Amino acid sequence: MRHLDAPAPSSAAQGYGDGIMTHQAPWQRAASGAMLLDHDGRLAPTIFAEMSALATATDSINLGQGFPDEDGPDEVLAAAHEAMRSGLNQYPPGRGMPVLLDAVAAHQRRFYGIDLDPRREVLVTAGATEALAATILAFVDRGDEVVTLEPFYDAYGAVIGLAGGVHVTVPLRGPESSVDPDELRRAFGPRTRLVVLNDPHNPTGSVLDDATRRLLLELAVEHDALVVTDEVYEHLLFDGVAHVPLATLPGAAVRTITISSGGKTFNTTGWKIGWLTGPAELVDRVVAVKQYLTFVNGSVFQPAIAVGLGLPDAYFDGIARTLGHKRDVLSAGLRRAGFAVRPSVGSYFVVADAAPLGFDDAADLCRRLPELAGVVGVPISAFCHPAFAVEQSSLVRFAFCKRIDVLERASAQLASLSV
C-alpha cells in the first residue's frame, strides 16, 4: 500500500509498503516486505528455507540456495586457524580490525582506483546483509521510498518494511534482464530517499549496461537520493565482463555506499564477513545503527578475509573462470532437459524457463522437482511482488556454485523431465 499523499506508482514501477499504517508490528512489516505473510497474516518460511528443507527430506541435490560445496583457498583458511590459535578470540574493534579495514581500502584502490581512508570510510559488518540492514535503517523513515530492481533479494523488502519505507521496484524484463529507461524514470519521485542497486544481480545473473548506470545516477542526483550498491558478486563475472562500481562514475562517490563481502569470493559464506565503504559522514551514520545490531563479529575471520583480499590476480581470475565453467556445465544440462536457459554473466545463478517443458507454474514445479528429478531449484516468482510474479511465473533459478560432479549428476537427473 502506498503512502496516502504520495503519487501512485505506475504499473511498471510498483510501490509496496506503508508509511502510515500503525496496526502492523515491526516483525509483521519485515515479514510483509519479504512477502512471508499470507492474506490471513500467517507467517510462512522463506523460499530458501522451504526448498532446502525439501532437499534434505528427499535427499535431493540442492541447487536452490546459493552456497558452495567446496572450501575456499588454503591461505584464507590457514589465516583463520592462526588467528584462533594466536588469541584473537575476543571482541574486535567496533569498525573492524585494522588489518581488514586496510585490506578493503587496498582492494578498492587495486581493482577500481577508489581511494579510501580505511579508518573513516570503511566499516566491517556481519556479512553484506547486515551492511544493507544497517544502511537502510539509518536513512529510511516512514513513507520514504526505496527503489530496487525486481526480481530482488528478499532481505531488501524485509528491511524496507521494518523501517516503514515504501518499496518501489523497477522490473528487469526479457531474457537479457533489461531495464526500460522510462520505467526507471517513473520509479523516482519526491519521496525517493534511497536506491538499492544489486549489480551483478541476484537472481538473474545479469549486469547493468553503462547507459542504465548513468541514468540511475542522474535520477539519484536529480532527486537527491542516496545510492546503496550490493556488489557481493563483484569478482564472479564471466565472458570477459568487468565489474564497474557505480561509485566510480563522475559525481557518484559523494552519495554512494558500496557494500560487498568475502563470503562469495572466498567460498566462506558461513563466516559472515562483509563491509561497506563510502563518504565518512555517511559511514558514521550507519555506524550509529550497526553498533546496536551485532556490535562486532568474526574476530578470527576478519584477518583471514584480509589475507584473501590480498591474493594475487591469478586467484581472482581463476575463481571467475572456474565458476564460468560450472555455469556452462549446468546450462548445457538444463538445455538438454528442455529448459530455455537465459544468459548469466555473473553471480552464482542461472535462470531457466520451464514453459517449453509444459510447466507454467515454476513454484509448483519446484515443489515437485525433488520427486520428478531429485533436484531442488527456486522459483523466480519468490523474488517478485505479486504483479510482476505473474510475468515470471515459469522461471526457475538454479545455483551452479557446486562441484562439477554434482552439476553433472543434477543435469543427468533433470534430463528425465524431457522423457
Backbone angles phi, psi at 166, to 5 degrees: -110, 120
What pLDDT score was predicted for residue 46?
Answer: 86
DSSP-derived secondary structure letter, 248? G
> Mapping DSSP to helix (H, G, I), strand (E, B) and coil, where does residue 375 land?
strand
**Distance in angstroms (rounded) separating the CA atoms of residues 173 and 143:** 27
What pLDDT score was predicted for residue 10?
Answer: 42
Q: What domains can be seen in the chain, in order of their start residue?
A: 47-71+314-418 (3.90.1150.10), 74-310 (3.40.640.10)
pLDDT in tens, 16-44: 665 444 578 999 999 999 999 988 889 98
Pairing mode of beta strands 15-17, 349-353: unpaired
Residue 170 burial class via C-beta count within 10 angstroms: exposed 0-12, middle 13-18, buried 19 and up: buried
- Looking at 12-54, which runs of residues are DSSP E strands? 15-17
List average pLDDT for each run of 10 residues in the chain, which is 419 residues long: 37 52 84 91 88 93 94 98 97 98 98 98 98 98 98 97 98 97 98 98 98 98 98 98 98 98 98 98 98 97 98 98 98 97 98 97 96 96 96 98 98 86
| C-alpha distances out from residue 277 to 83, 95, 376, Å | 25, 11, 36
Cut 0.85: pTM above it: yes
What pLDDT score was predicted for residue 45?
Answer: 87
pLDDT in tens, 110-152: 999 999 999 999 999 999 999 999 999 999 999 999 999 999 9
